[in-house]
């Protein structure tokens, strides 16, 4: 296995070739800065490397039942949206690296991210992994979307933006200056609006961590008295497929997002290697930097485990195999795998930094 610096250069060469002239070269300095920041952010930025190394770190997971999995699972890959009924929903909301893989890997990556993000007085590895496993087992037993309109009061209070932050959102996104964007993305963004003939303000956008380098654009229009925002981002084949299914061109983000046990965002769509989603104060993630204790609470980790199960349970034919494999594992398997993975990520972060 090559070292992390050689691996990063090789991945960036591949990504440039995939994206072509729209590749955002200026994003790379920012991505490298974030990769040097800390081991948790490094994990977020390097899913391709996780795919290259995790089955060497945890070879015992290779024979587990395979599912269409989230792939790039971590503490910050969960947020809110409004479903087709206008209900506030919470769950996984980034499926850029979804692919067919052994089901435990989503759990291990989530647990490893928690170990890397915790502070000195944070929960123990055992508490983190027990909460995730409890939620996952509960989700496999009764998969269902997490609807916040009536239930999950604590989570609802945590994710609803106060008025001050809602105002800050609209100051940030309600006044950006127009800049021409590639026609391909302009057409996709216009098609995602309720009025395709509305006057459109567009601009490039730089955001996230692992997706830096891929083109991302946003559009704003006024519709029936108020602003509407959409974002379009280029997708590429999952880092998992790149490693284990070379030559594959399948992008699975749309399929897993629309799973039978989810209440998807009706404004999330994937077509022609581009994902489009709504930008809104109701579409919110909780960040580790601002709310590590909240994200690392047993209640939140259980819900994350449950949401992973919602995604994995999409194929009913696989449910019995997942339940059987999970019940047959010893009580410490996730803690051991997550600790090994977190230690490996921390070593590579130190080498890269």
Please say whether the beta carbons of 71 and 92 come within 8 A. Answer: no
160 — pLDDT class (breaks 50, 70, 90): confident
Q: How far is CA 268 from CA 84, 265, 274, 286, in A?
A: 11, 5, 11, 19
* Residues contacting 191, CB < 8 A, separation 6+: none
Q: Does the structure show a pLDDT above 70 at 315?
A: yes
Q: Is 3 exposed, middle or buried (0-12, 13-18, 19+ CB in 10 A)?
A: exposed
What pLDDT does 1 receive? 67
Domain range for residue 140?
Answer: 4-352
* Residues 242-282: tens digit of each pLDDT: 999 998 999 999 999 999 999 999 999 999 899 999 999 88
The helix (run of H) or strand (run of E) holding residue 42 is: helix 39-45
CB atoms within 10 A of CB 247: 7
Name the helix (H) or strand (E) containing 50: helix 47-57
The tally of domains found in the chain comes to 1
Structure tokens at 316: 């009913």
Report the C-alpha gap between 300 and 306 in whole angstroms. 10
Mean pLDDT of the chain: 94
Task: Determine the pLDDT at residue 2.
Answer: 84
pLDDT given for residue 62 in this prediction: 96
Interior angle at CA 58, CA 55 and CA 62, nearest 5: 55
Q: Which of 35-49, 141-155, 282-296 has the lowest mean pLDDT?
A: 282-296
Q: At residue 348, does pLDDT exceed 80?
A: yes
Q: Nearest CA to 210 among 99, 3, 49?
A: 49
Give the pLDDT of residue 288: 85
Question: pLDDT higher for 165 or 222?
Answer: 222
Chain segment 223-248, per-residue pLDDT in tens = 999 999 999 999 999 999 999 999 89
At 85-114, the pLDDT tens digits run 999 999 999 999 999 999 999 999 999 999
Mean pLDDT of 198-226: 93
Write out the two tokens for 261.
Answer: 């046990």
193/232 Cα distance (integer angstroms): 12
CA distance 54 to 67: 17
**Angle at 222 (CA atoms; ends 218, 228), nearest 5 degrees:** 45
Read off the pLDDT of residues 16-32 as tens digits, 9 standing for 90 and up. Answer: 999 999 999 999 999 99
Q: Which of 344, 284, 341, 320 is nearest to 128 (CA)?
A: 341
> What's the whole-model pTM score?
0.95
Residue in this structure with the two tokens 């599912």, named with its chain if needed: 67
- Look at phi and psi of residue 173 and say left if phi exceeds 0, alpha if psi is from -120 to 50, else beta: alpha
Backbone phi and psi for residue 192, each to the nearest 5 degrees, phi listed first: -85, 0
User: According to the model, what pLDDT value does residue 31 have?
Assistant: 95
Over 90: is that where the pLDDT of 316 sits? no
- Alpha-carbon distances of 274 from 92, 96, 253, rounded to whole Å: 18, 10, 10
Pick the more confident residue, 341 or 196.
341
Query: DSSP for 169-198?
Result: HHHHHSSPPP----HHHHHHHHHTSS-TTS
């Amino acid at each position: 296995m090559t070292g992390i610096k050689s691996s990063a250069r090789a991945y960036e060469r591949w990504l440039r070739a995939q994206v072509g002239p729209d590749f955002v070269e200026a994003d790379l300095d920012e991505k490298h800065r974030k990769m040097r920041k800390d081991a948790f952010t490094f994990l977020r930025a390097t899913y391709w490397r996780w795919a290259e190394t995790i089955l060497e770190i945890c070879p015992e997971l290779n024979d587990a039942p395979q599912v269409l999995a989230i792939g790039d699972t971590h503490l910050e890959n969960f947020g809110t949206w409004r479903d087709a009924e206008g209900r506030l929903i919470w769950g996984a909301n980034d499926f850029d690296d979804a692919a067919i893989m052994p089901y435990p890997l989503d759990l291990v990556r989530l647990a490893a991210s928690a170990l890397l993000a915790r502070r000195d007085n944070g929960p123990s590895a055992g508490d983190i992994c027990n909460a995730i496993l409890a939620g996952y087992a509960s989700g496999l037993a009764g998969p269902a979307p997490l609807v916040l309109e009536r239930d999950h009061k604590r989570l609802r209070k945590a994710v609803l933006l106060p008025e001050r932050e809602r105002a800050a959102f609209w100051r940030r996104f309600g006044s950006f200056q127009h800049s021409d964007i590639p026609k391909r993305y302009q057409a996709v963004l216009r098609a995602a609006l309720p009025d395709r003939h509305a006057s459109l303000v567009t601009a490039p956008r730089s955001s996230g961590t692992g997706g830096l380098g891929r083109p991302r654009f946003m559009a704003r229009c006024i519709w029936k008295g108020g602003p509407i925002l959409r974002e379009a981002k280029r997708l590429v084949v999952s880092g998992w497929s790149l490693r284990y299914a070379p030559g594959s061109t399948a992008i699975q983000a749309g399929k897993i997002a629309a799973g039978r046990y989810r209440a998807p965002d009706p404004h999330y769509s994937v077509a022609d290697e581009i994902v489009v989603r709504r930008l809104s104060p109701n579409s919110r993630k909780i960040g580790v930097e601002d709310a590590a204790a909240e994200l690392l609470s047993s209640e939140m980790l259980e819900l994350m485990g449950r949401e992973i199960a919602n995604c994995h349970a999409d194929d009913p034919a696989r449910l019995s195999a997942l339940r059987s494999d999970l019940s047959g594992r010893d009580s410490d398997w996730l803690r051991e795998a997550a600790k090994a993975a977190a230690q490996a990520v921390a070593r590579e972060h130190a080498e890269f930094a």
